[in-house]
Structure formats: C-alpha cells, structure tokens
Amino acid sequence: MGIVERRERLKKQVRSDILKTARDIAREDGWQGVSIRKIADIIEYSPPIIYEYFDSKDKLLETIRVDGFYELRGEYDRIKEVYRDPEKQLVEVAQSIWNFSVEKPEVFQVMFNQDGAFVLSKRAYQQELDMTGNPVWEMIARLRPKAGEKVSMTYYEWWCLTYGFISITMTTQPKHAISKMEAIYTEGVRRFIRSIM
C-alpha cells in the first residue's frame, strides 16, 4: 500500500513548490513583494497551509539561505577535487560565487540580508566561517602555510572580499551594469591571491 509514500511525495512536492514560488516572486518583484498570501495564491492553497511546512516566514527564508550555502559548499568541494593548484582553485571558487549571484540573485540576497530580504538568525554564517572541513579554508591554508590563526584571518578577508564585492555590486548597480563589473571583481580576486602568496 503506497498511500503513505504517495502522501510523503506530495508533501515534498508542495514544500519545494513553496520555496520555488517564494524565489520566483522575489526574482520578479524583489523580496519586499514576497508574502505568504501571494505564495499561497500561486500554489493554489490557503495561507495557513504554508505553516504546516514552515514555522514562519522567517524560517522559510532561512531554509532558502541554508540551501544556498549548501549548494555553494558543494561547488567548492567539487572544485577542490578537480583542480590541484590552490591558486587555480581559489580563482574557480571566486568564479562560481559570481556565477551563483548572477543565476540566483534572489537567493544571494537572502543569504546576506540584502535588498528587502531579512532573516533574523545568524546561525548559517557560523558554519560557513568555521574552518573544520571547510574547503576554501584549506585552499588558503595550502597557499599560505603559516600559523592557523593567520589562515583564519585571511579566510575571513577572502570571505569579505568575494561576498562583499558582489553584495555591493548587486545593491548599488542597476541590473544591466552588473556584468561589466565581473572583470574588476576577477582582477581584485587575483590581486588578493597574489598578495597573500
């Protein structure tokens, strides 16, 4: 009897529909335009249904944030496997962050509380800034075989350089001008890598 299975499949579907719809609205109208009622309208359920999947709107956005970081982490792990040279690895990481922000700007906004997106908790950042098992931290460590403390500081600089550059670009530049900034970003990243080698 696959009844339970069917129900669970449907639940998973609705859950991901909610997340996808939130992102769709945000991409179109910005996070300011995302409301529980609009999401409910689009997935053709009543608003209270959403609360069976997420405790609150805040938790819903936090899920999107965590998923975003998870996806990026996957990219970093992949890059670490594919390339041997840590310099090349970091350049690739920087590239993949940029691509991510271009392809999923609305997710990037949630990840960094930007442009109308807002999540109260800072929990997601802690894991991201932690060094244990952190692929990017290890790339920098290989590039800079100094004491651990120094590496963590450099890693934090890296974090701010990459995410900061894109954050500021996304919020200050009109959509059509963003792609022109990629070259500056890439050059800045290269300069940074060379300056810590």
Partner DNA sequence: TTTTTTTTCTAACAGCGTTTGGAAAACCTA
Partner DNA sequence: TAGGTTTTCCAAACGCTGTTAGAAAAAAAA
172: contact with a second copy by CB under 8 A: yes
Give the binding range for DNA (CB under 7 A) out of 2-10, 104-112, 128-136, 163-171.
2-10
Q: Which of 17, 42, 45, 190 binds DNA (CB under 7 A)?
A: 45
Residue with Cβ nearer a second copy (17 or 113): 113
Residue with Cβ nearer a second copy (17 or 182): 182
Distance of CA 109 to the CA centre of its chain: 8
10: contact with a second copy by CB under 8 A: no
Give the binding range for a second copy (CB under 8 A) out of 9-17, 33-41, 88-96, 156-164.
156-164
| Tokens, residue 74 | 């996957």
User: How far, in Å, are 60, 112, 116, 126, 149 from residue 23 at the CA level?
Assistant: 11, 15, 13, 24, 38
Q: Which of 54, 98, 100, 112 binds a second copy (CB under 8 A)?
A: 112
46: contact with a second copy by CB under 8 A: no
The H-or-E segment that residue 150 falls in is: helix 148-172
Site mask for DNA (CB under 7 A), range 114-153, x = bound: ----------------------------------------
Nearest to 75 by CA among 91, 105, 97: 97
R_g of the chain computed on alpha carbons: 19
CB 115 within 8 A of CB 109: yes
